[in-house]
Chains A and B, each alone.
Chain A
Amino acid sequence: MNQISTPAIRLCVICVVCAFLLGICSEVTKEPIAAQTIKTQQEAMAAVLPDCTYEDIKDAKLSDNVTAVAKATDNSGNAAGFVVSCEVSSFGGPLDMMVGVDPNGTITGLRVLSHSDTPGLGARSTEPEFYGQFNGMSGTLAVDKDGGQVKAITSATITSRAVTSGANAALQWVSENGGAY
């Protein structure tokens, strides 16, 4: 009997102590982590549509690729456009990105926030050389291989197409719904 109960009780004690420590730790770090997440998001928004304040549009009409939209207001109180968060499927899985679009439907900035593509190939979508070219583009975009104006990353056409489709989803959202907000 003792050979069964002693290990069971001790394992139980270790689990309870660990769970207790984890609980305390999670409780203590909850607020700083939430604050940090908001800060990171604000910084990403400031990168794609600078010098504005951002307000999430809670009732925005979302689609498969558009996951969230924030309305941007510049320092003098004028509508400066929208920051559209997109999730598209790329070579290695989902790719999260953020696109700033001004009220005229022109891209002001684009960033890839997270992806699981190949290092050195698709991962180069996070480099300015690639995402910088989207600034100032509008309408419907396509990569150069498909006869469009977006210069694809060498050997990473799938990633380039995915980012381009995200940019299109953002532009489409603004042209269809932008006037309503």
Chain B
Amino acid sequence: MSNNLKVLRDGIIFDNPILIQVVGMCATLATSTSIINGVGMGLSTTAVLVGSNVVISLLRKFIPDTVRIPCFIVVIASFVTIVQLLLQAYLPSLNDALGLYIPLIVVNCIILARAEGFASKNGPVASFFDGLGNGLGFTIVLGVMGAIREFLGSGTFLSAKVLPDVFPKTLLLIMAPGAFFTLGILMALFKHVIAKRKTAE
């Protein structure tokens, strides 16, 4: 397996940003109330993550070690703001759908964690794949959490009604505590599967 593919796979599975690194919790808890919200947040984060990883990687020789964090933050915040302005001006319908998430991306520590942990030490191509892998890993988990919470909490799947009204809806699941429950159970299951795989090897 080539190195780039390995980086991609690690981002999605073995270094999954939510289930293993446990970063980006605020966005995870807030936007996983439905599949569409979760996947929307995941994909916009992926776009920003890929962009910021490549830019940070290109600048890695120029950025001095002692002030790297402020440099990362300035670059990431500018990047997100430019994306937001361009979306507002030229793609208003996409902005209506994602507008809510874009300010959340700036504070999402996945972006800073990948800049610090990967992009500042690796070339732009590997950083591109790292951004893509982590972004997709984030998107998949948000989508799964969204599906569980939407199904049990609102009785819908992709906004289409699937549970009859007589079936009690667990309102708790679409509120913040429900996000913690869902995340905790998913995390435990995931670690169990990974651990099993490791002992098998």
Contact B88 A33 (CB under 8 A): yes
Q: A18–B88 contact, CB under 8 A?
A: no
Q: A55 CA to B196 CA in the complex, in Å?
A: 68
Instruction: Name A10's contact: one of B67, B153, B171 (CB within 8 Å).
Output: B67
Find out whether the CB atom of A29 lies under 8 angstroms from the CB atom of B171: no
In the assembly, what is the distance between CA of A25 and CA of B175, in Å? 37
Q: Answer yes or no: A75 CB below 8 A from chain B CBs.
A: no
Q: Chain A residues near B74 (CB, 8 Å)?
A: 11, 14-15, 18
Chain B residues contacting A104 (CB-CB under 8 Å) are none
Candidates B66, B92, B153; contact of A120 at CB < 8 Å: B153
Query: Is B21 among interface residues, defined by CB-CB distance under 8 A?
Result: no
* Contact of A7 (CB < 8 Å), options: B67, B85, B171: B67
**CA–CA, A6 and B64, complex, Å:** 8
Minimal beta-carbon separation of B51 from chain A (angstroms): 13
Looking across the interface, which residue of chain A has its beta carbon closest to that of B176? A118
Contact A32 B89 (CB under 8 A): yes
Residues of chain A within 8 A of B78, CB atoms compared: 18, 21-22
Complex Cα–Cα for A131 and B82 (A): 35
**Is B174 within 8 A of A119, CB to CB?**
yes
Name B173's closest neighbour in chain A (CB-CB).
A120
Q: In the complex, are the beta carbons of A29 and B89 less than 8 A apart?
A: yes
Q: Please give me the residue from chain B that is nearest to A15 by CB atom.
A: B74
B67 contact set on A, CB distance < 8 A: 7-8, 10-11
Shortest Cβ gap from A8 to chain B (Å): 8
B154 touches A120 (CB 8 A): yes
Task: With CB as the reference atom, state the residue of chain B lying closest to A6.
Answer: B64
B174 touches A120 (CB 8 A): yes
B154 touches A22 (CB 8 A): no
Given contacts A21-B82, A119-B174, A120-B174, contact A33 B63 (CB under 8 A): no
Q: Does B120 make an interface contact (CB < 8 A)?
A: no
B175 touches A22 (CB 8 A): no
Q: A1-28 vs B: 1/0 string, CB under 8 Å?
A: 0010011101100110010011001101
* Residues on B with beta carbons closer than 8 Å to the beta carbon of A28: 89
Q: How far is the CA of A120 from the CA of B146 in the complex (A)?
A: 13
A7 and B89 contact, Cβ closer than 8 Å, known pairs A22-B81, A22-B82, A120-B33: no
Task: Give the contacts of B115-131 with A (CB-CB under 8 A).
Answer: none
| A11 engages B70 (CB within 8 Å) | yes
Q: Given A33-B89, A40-B92, 14 more contacts at CB 8 Å? A: A3-B66, A8-B67, A10-B64, A15-B74, A18-B74, A26-B85, A28-B89, A29-B86, A118-B175, A119-B33, A119-B34, A119-B174, A120-B154, A120-B171
A-B contact pairs, 10 of them (CB 8 A): A7-B64, A10-B67, A10-B71, A11-B71, A21-B82, A29-B88, A40-B92, A119-B34, A119-B37, A120-B154
* Interface residues in chain B, defined as those with a beta carbon under 8 Å from any beta carbon in chain A: 33-34, 37, 59, 62-64, 66-67, 70-71, 74-75, 78, 81-82, 85-86, 88-90, 92, 153-154, 171, 174-175
